A and B are shown apart, each in its own frame.
Chain A
Amino acid sequence: MKNFNAINLAREALRRHKGWGQQWRNPEPKKDYDVIIVGAGGHGLGTAYYLAKEHGITNIAVLEKGWLGGGNTGRNTTIIRSNYLYDESAGLYNHALNLWETLSQELNYNVMFSQRGVMMLAHNVHDVQSAQRHIHANRLNGVDNQWLTPQQAKDYCPPLNISSNSRYPVMGAALQRRGGVARHDAVAWGYARQASAMGVDIIQNCEVTGINRGAGGEVTGVETARGTINAKRVGVVAAGHTSVLMEMAGVQMPLESYPLQALVSEPVKPVFPCVVMSNAVHAYISQSDKGELVIGAGTDSYLSYSQTGSMHILQHTLDAIIELFPMFNRMKMLRTWGGIVDVTPDRSPILSKTPVPGLYVNCGWGTGGFKATPGSANVFAHTIARDEPHTINAGFNLDRFRNGRLIDEAAAAAVAH
């Protein structure tokens, strides 16, 4: 692996950039590893990276049924923020946000993290009260978030329609200035590149078909499309397919999998300076550095693994986007797609040990896991390496559905998020 720096860039420029080489190895699977991570998305690759970097475990395989970063890591709308209500969530998401700020330097890979601000609109009295409650809770937790009047919101995001005649009138907004967007593919690639350089084997096109257990019930390895691979510790980081994988080890999960859709427009010149979200109408919008408007829609109401969603969900989102930003009403949409999100009853993730010794699970990110990628990976690596949770993810255990200590962000936001 060759470092990206001015000297190497100049050297490569002189020979037409033919000397960069492969960014990560493409090895054959070995028979035995110390740790197997199932799922080569951002969270899985990040977990392998932090296991190698912070815990000295490098004999790791990351198994991926498709291609690296081809699941929800490559399908989300790249929004990053940490203004969650509860203490546990604030701790986890703010840990992630702190890591995001130095991630490009740490990985020597430009993840294009842009802190352009995330503005969440309030359209009714309930939204206003809920947003202000969030702001106060956030400030107590040291998370930045501030209240904007409609005019201040318009000053921050000029395309916003704040007319009182709008179908969704803007009564104010909560703004997290540290929030923003990053390039999702680059996050997976950056982690893959560094993990691979430290000796982690990333094995693509290698679907896990079974989880093997020993006489005491402990994990001994996995069955894959490319044969048996042994390891005493297995971390499942498989997003929408977590229930299917955990069932292989006899663990039933409190998860439901739904299609979530997103879409992008044709590229245009820079017109949209920040990220705007509206929980009430369930629409998110930002503009990518390529110029496309990136728009997030809602989930379908029924379980599905189809990786497509219904047209009426997109239509509802676009109706709202056009009301909020009338200037976009003639824009053409280029692509739409869907991903499968795993949703927990309290809409908070699970980063936990399981009843099966040696089996760990990182799931339940629902419709908003990308923002947490570095923080999630960092504390999940700690959980696997030490066989106990980090203080940051101690509350996000699987036991909370039995002892009732939920982290009920679902009730806090009144929508999936």
Chain B
Amino acid sequence: MLLIHCPYCGADRPELEFANAGEAHVVRPKDMDGMTDAEFEKMFFIRDNPKGVNLERWRHVMGCGRFFNAIRHTVSDRFLKVYKAGEPRPKAEEIAELLK
């Protein structure tokens, strides 16, 4: 079981309190009627699914109930960083630094 740090509660809590909510930073456009089929497919179905560093959303359902983002390695399952929803996507250099 994972031990997950909630950036809102400021505490390490067991995975059972959380729900994974898929890939982070998927932007739903304001004008969905104007999307092409290819854009809709990319937004709705295509997923990064990396073997390595993954940016993902979690929700602290059995705690504060809020969504946040995390950087996690999908081979070791280790969390590298958690950050609040709305904060910008971490840059590649920052992720490389976290991996050291």
User: What residues make up the interface of A, taking CB atoms closer than 8 Å to B?
Assistant: 241, 243-244, 252-257, 301-306, 310-312, 345, 401-404
Interface size class of B (residues with CB under 8 A): 20 to 34
When A256-B49, A305-B74, A306-B75 are in contact, do A401 and B41 touch as well, CB less than 8 Å?
Answer: yes
Give a binary string over B30-54; 1 marks a CB under 8 Å from any A CB, 0 the rest: 0000000110111011111111001
Q: How many A-B residue pairs have CB under 8 A?
A: 68
When A303-B74, A402-B37 are in contact, do A310 and B15 touch as well, CB less than 8 Å?
Answer: yes
Q: Give bound CA distance, A244 to B38, whole Å.
A: 21
Q: Are the C-beta atoms of A255 and B56 separated by less than 8 Å?
A: no
Q: Are the C-beta atoms of B56 and A254 separated by less than 8 Å?
A: no
Q: Give bound CA distance, A380 to B76, whole Å.
A: 34
User: What's the minimum C-beta distance from A354 to chain B, rounded to whole angstroms?
Assistant: 13
Q: Are the C-beta atoms of A306 and B74 separated by less than 8 Å?
A: yes
Q: Are the C-beta atoms of B49 and A255 separated by less than 8 Å?
A: yes
Enumerate chain A residues within 8 angstroms of B54, measured Cβ to Cβ. Answer: 303
27 A-B pairs with CB atoms under 8 Å apart are: A241-B51, A243-B47, A243-B48, A252-B42, A252-B46, A253-B46, A254-B46, A254-B47, A256-B22, A257-B74, A301-B19, A302-B77, A303-B50, A303-B54, A304-B75, A305-B51, A306-B74, A306-B75, A306-B76, A310-B1, A310-B2, A310-B15, A345-B44, A401-B46, A402-B38, A402-B41, A403-B37
Q: Give bound CA distance, A154 to B31, whole Å.
A: 55
Q: Are the C-beta atoms of A303 and B75 separated by less than 8 Å?
A: no
Q: Give bound CA distance, A305 to B54, whole Å.
A: 11
Q: Are the C-beta atoms of B47 and A255 separated by less than 8 Å?
A: yes
Q: Is B72 an interface residue (CB 8 A)?
A: yes
Q: Are the C-beta atoms of A302 and B72 separated by less than 8 Å?
A: yes
Enumerate chain B residues within 8 angstroms of A255, measured Cβ to Cβ. Answer: 47, 49
Please classify the interface of chain A as helix (H, G, I), strand (E, B), loop, or mixed, using the class held by over half of its residues: loop
When A256-B49, A305-B51 are in contact, do A312 and B15 touch as well, CB less than 8 Å?
Answer: yes
Q: Give bound CA distance, A276 to B37, whole Å.
A: 41
Q: Are the C-beta atoms of B1 and A302 separated by less than 8 Å?
A: no
Q: Give bound CA distance, A202 to B2, whole Å.
A: 39
Q: Give bound CA distance, A125 to B5, whole Å.
A: 39
Q: Are the C-beta atoms of B45 and A311 separated by less than 8 Å?
A: no
Q: Is B62 an interface residue (CB 8 A)?
A: no
| Residue picked from B19, B37, B72, B77, most chain A C-beta under 10 Å | B77
Enumerate chain A residues within 8 angstroms of B45, measured Cβ to Cβ. Answer: 254, 345, 401
Task: List the B residue with the shortest CB-CB distance to A404.
Answer: B37
Enumerate chain A residues within 8 angstroms of B41, measured Cβ to Cβ. Answer: 254, 401-402
Query: Which single member of A252, A253, A302, A402 contacts B20 (CB below 8 Å)?
Result: A302
Q: Which 6 A-B pairs have the closest CB atoms?
A: A243-B49, A254-B45, A301-B20, A401-B45, A302-B20, A402-B41
Q: Give bound CA distance, A301 to B61, whole Å.
A: 14
Q: Are the C-beta atoms of A312 and B47 separated by less than 8 Å?
A: no
Q: Give bound CA distance, A253 to B41, whole Å.
A: 10
Give a binary string over B1-30; 1 marks a CB under 8 Å from any A CB, 0 the rest: 110000000000001100110100000000
User: What's the minimum C-beta distance from A253 to chain B, rounded to whole angstroms?
Assistant: 7
Q: Give bound CA distance, A301 to B56, whole Å.
A: 12
User: What's the minimum C-beta distance from B15 to chain A, rounded to whole angstroms?
Assistant: 7
Q: Give bound CA distance, A379 to B37, whole Å.
A: 28
Given contact pairs A301-B20, A303-B56, A401-B41, enumerate 10 new A-B contacts (beta carbons under 8 Å).
A243-B48, A244-B49, A254-B46, A255-B47, A256-B47, A256-B49, A305-B74, A306-B76, A402-B38, A403-B37
